[in-house]
Each structure stands twice: as structure tokens, then as C-alpha cells.
Amino acid sequence: MSTADPGGAPAVKQVGRPRDGSRDVLILEEALAVLAEVGYERLTIDAVAARTGAARATIYRRWPTKAELVLDAVRRLSEGDVDPADLPDTGRLRDDLVAIVLSQSEDELQYRMKIVAGVASLALTEDRRLAQAATVASVGSWTRALEVLLQRAVDRGEYPNVSRDVAPDVSGEAGISSGTAVDVAALAQVVPLMCLARAVTQQPISREFSLQLIDGVLIPAMRGAG
Amino acid sequence: MSTADPGGAPAVKQVGRPRDGSRDVLILEEALAVLAEVGYERLTIDAVAARTGAARATIYRRWPTKAELVLDAVRRLSEGDVDPADLPDTGRLRDDLVAIVLSQSEDELQYRMKIVAGVASLALTEDRRLAQAATVASVGSWTRALEVLLQRAVDRGEYPNVSRDVAPDVSGEAGISSGTAVDVAALAQVVPLMCLARAVTQQPISREFSLQLIDGVLIPAMRGAG
């Protein structure tokens, strides 16, 4: 349906009206807003069209299905996320973790978590791409950032009991008999996934909750490793 | 619509055909199965009727709305959950935690988590009762059981650095300047909520994942407290 032809010869200019990029962005943003309000199943192209002033046909020309529109919209959320090369680096793990939590907007956090809730039931059925994109958009860069901060603390020897080459124990039954080396990869998921779970089950999420997890779970776990 | 009259005088026998309790149970079980397969939005009374052989009118007489049927079904899931008075008690926290994880059926766990995913988008809209019931059914008794085990270990002095009257730090900005006392209530939520979050975002959940969290997060956190 689309008039764009990405496979065409690069030298040949596209014929017809140029795609209006800013209108695409507006449509994607409004699609996300509708998704956060009512969830995927109740989202309609009509509602998105009404909020953007675009014609339904315009939206369908660009995104032939609702799933494609929502997938594009959710992927767009991940753009402009925290840059792993530009993280707090105070020299002390707890200060780094607190800084990254305080740098997040609670409204933005709630919004992203509502979007995950809005597509969660799709995880049961066909569209795995959407569930995966929502995971990346909601917890992907956050988890990666926390893992960088934790690993940095290990590398500089802030927690001498943590082995510098600790590897998560993923082997079959090994967990039953293994020791208790702290698992940096698992620890990096604690705050993002617990916020996500609370959002999905309608419990409030806040910076205070994240700070509580830093002091009540993450830092003790790093200190108690070894 | 229901012919049952719970407010009636206790001495007066109900008139008409007695409610068929076993058929109710079958309907609730099939409603849960449909919910886990397709989610709340796509669940229809017709589908439940077809799977149970009951007439639609029979179902509607008992549960006037889809929301009421699903609410009853989800609440039923919580019946027969782990009895907090009947938990493993080996005298060693790690063994207790491993025992409770191994006592869970992975299929049952996956099933409950799918049900949470199936009602997650409702958290965005009106029916808070359903989202809450799903939370209780999926992680409620599990979280309570873990909290009992953790608190028992604290009470018997297995982790001498953990204060026996530790209280979660929930005051406004206190998390920013407070120490790092382990938070038993938060720690008890780690495994259930992380499993729930993984299920909702289509990541596999398994006993191995729970065991990994025990050895990589919970036990180190208890050891590093204080």
C-alpha cells in the first residue's frame, strides 16, 4: 500500500509528495498516548486519526495494520534513551545508582510502564515483536545502564568480595548446589522488572520505591557477595 | 439476575433447582483457561460456554457480566494456595527458599503469570478489582511465604547483621541519605515480581531463574545487610 520504495535505485528521486516526517511523528506519539490510556485491544485507528487530524486513509497508507503502527510507535520510545556512555560516575556505586534514579522523570516512567501493560495481553497470542519492543522500550536501556554501573563498581574493586569475572549461573540444576556469588546481570534487572511488575499489577511506582530497592536489596547484595 | 438470595431468612429453604456447584467450578476453570490463552479483551462468554457445554443464558444468570465471571475465576485461583503455617522449616534460609521454589510446579507458575498478562491492560482502565485479584492470585501467597521464611531467618539470628526489628524505609527523601539495612518486605517481592515481569514481557520463567535469584540476590543481600 505504501508509495515509498526503499528498494528502488538510490539515484532515482521519489515521485509524488514527500513523506511528511513531522506528521508521522505526531501520529506515532498519539498512538502511544492512546495505547497508554486504553491498551492495545481497545486502541483504534479512528481514535488516533481523530487526535491527530490525519485521515484514516493516510494512516493506513503508512501503516497497513494496527500492529505495525503500534510496533513503530513503541520502538520510537526507545530512541533517545539513556546513553550507556554517558552515565553518572561518582566513584561510588550507591551514589551512581541514586543519581540514575533521580534523573528519571516519574511521569515518563509511569507512561512507559502503562504502555507495557497495554500490550501485555499480546504476549499470550501472536505478536511477539510487539511484546519484545515494549520490553526494550520500558526496561531495556535502564537495565543496561544499571548493569554498567554495577560492573564498574566491581571492576574498580569497590566490593572486594565480588569476583571480577563473575558469570551468571544459568546451568541446569547448578543453582541448587552452587554458592552465592552475586549475580550482576540479575541484580541489574531487579529495579526495572519490579517497577514493571508493580505497574502491571496497578501498584504505584515511584523514585522512592527504586531508592528503597537500592538500599534494601542492591547494595546489601553487593556487600554480601563472595 | 441471580435467583440466589443470600440476604433471605436462613430458615427458609431456597425454592427451585439447587445451584449446581460443580458446574460453576467447571465454568470458572474454563474461563481461566480461555483468559490464559487469549487475554481478557478477547475472552467471550460464548467461548466459555462452548468449552463447558453450558448455555450462555446459564452463565449470564450466574455472572451478569464478563468482568464478574473473570473476577470470580481469578479469585478462585488463590484458594488452596500455600498455607503460611505449613512452610519448609529446615533451619537454614537458603534450604527453605530452595524448597519452596522446588515445590512449585512450573506449569502452574506459567499459567498464573499468563493470567496476569491477560488482565494487565485492564489496569489502564476501569476494573481495579480484577487487576488486584490477579496480583493476589499470581504473587500474593508466594510473596507472603517468602517474607515468613526471611523473617524467620532474621528471628533465629541466622544473619546477625540484620536488625530483628528492621522496618522498610518508606519516608519521603529518606532513601537518599539512609543506610543500607536490608529490607525484608522488599526482598520477599524480588522473586515473585521478577517472574511476573518476565512473564508479561514474554521472557521465559523457570525454577532455575528463581534459584538464580536466591543465590545471586536474596542470600547475598541478607549476608550484606547491616
Q: Convert the pLDDT of each residue in A155-191 to its tens digit.
A: 999 998 887 554 444 443 333 334 457 889 999 999 9
Q: Which three cell numbers stand for residue A88?
A: 553518572
Residues in B touching A122 (Cβ below 8 Å):
39
Whether residue A131 and residue B202 make contact (CB cut-off 8 A), yes or no, is yes
Q: Which of B118, B119, B194 sits opposite A190 (nearest CB)?
A: B194
pLDDT (average), residues B159-184: 57
Q: Which of B102, B122, B224 sits opposite A220 (nearest CB)?
A: B224
Whether residue B36 and residue A124 make contact (CB cut-off 8 A), yes or no, is yes
- Write down the residue that cell numbers 545487610 correspond to: B225
Question: Which pLDDT score is estimated for B2?
Answer: 40
The confidence band for B19, taking pLDDT boundaries of 50, 70 and 90, is low
Contact A14, A4 (CB under 8 A): yes
Question: Which pLDDT score is estimated for A146?
Answer: 94
| Alpha helices (H) along B103-166 | 106-119, 128-135, 141-155
> How many residue pairs from chains A and B have C-beta atoms closer than 8 A?
237
Whether residue B225 and residue A224 make contact (CB cut-off 8 A), yes or no, is yes
Cα separation, B70 vs B218, whole angstroms: 34
User: Which fold is adopted by the domain B21-78?
Assistant: Arc Repressor Mutant, subunit A (1.10.10)
Whether residue B135 and residue A203 make contact (CB cut-off 8 A), yes or no, is yes
Residue B38 has pLDDT above 50, yes or no: yes
Residues in B touching A90 (Cβ below 8 Å):
none
Residues in B touching A193 (Cβ below 8 Å):
193-194, 197-198
Q: Which residue of A has its CA nearest to B166?
A: A216
Question: Which pLDDT score is estimated for A74?
Answer: 87
Q: Which of B28, B112, B17 lies closest to B63, judged by CA?
A: B28
What ipTM does this complex have?
0.76
Question: Which pLDDT score is estimated for B8?
Answer: 39
A138-147, B17-26, B146-155, range with the lowest pLDDT: B17-26
Shortest Cα–Cα distance, B211 to chain A (Å): 5
Question: Which pLDDT score is estimated for A6?
Answer: 42
Contact B45, B69 (CB under 8 A): yes
How much of chain A exceeds pLDDT 90, in percent? Answer: 38
Residue A58, CA distances (Å) to A19, A44, B103 in order:
11, 14, 55
Q: Which of B67, B72, B177 lies closest to B125, judged by CA?
A: B67
Residue A46 has pLDDT above 80, yes or no: yes
Residue A89 has pLDDT above 70, yes or no: yes
- DSSP assignment of B211-222: HHHIIIIIHHHH
Mean pLDDT, chain A, integer: 80
CATH 1.10.10.60 positions along chain B are: 21-78
Cα separation, A60 vs B196, whole angstroms: 35
Question: Which pLDDT score is estimated for B69?
Answer: 93
A35-49, A193-207, B63-77, B155-169, range with the lowest pLDDT: B155-169
Mean pLDDT, chain B, integer: 80
**What's the residue count for chain B?**
226
The confidence band for B187, taking pLDDT boundaries of 50, 70 and 90, is very high
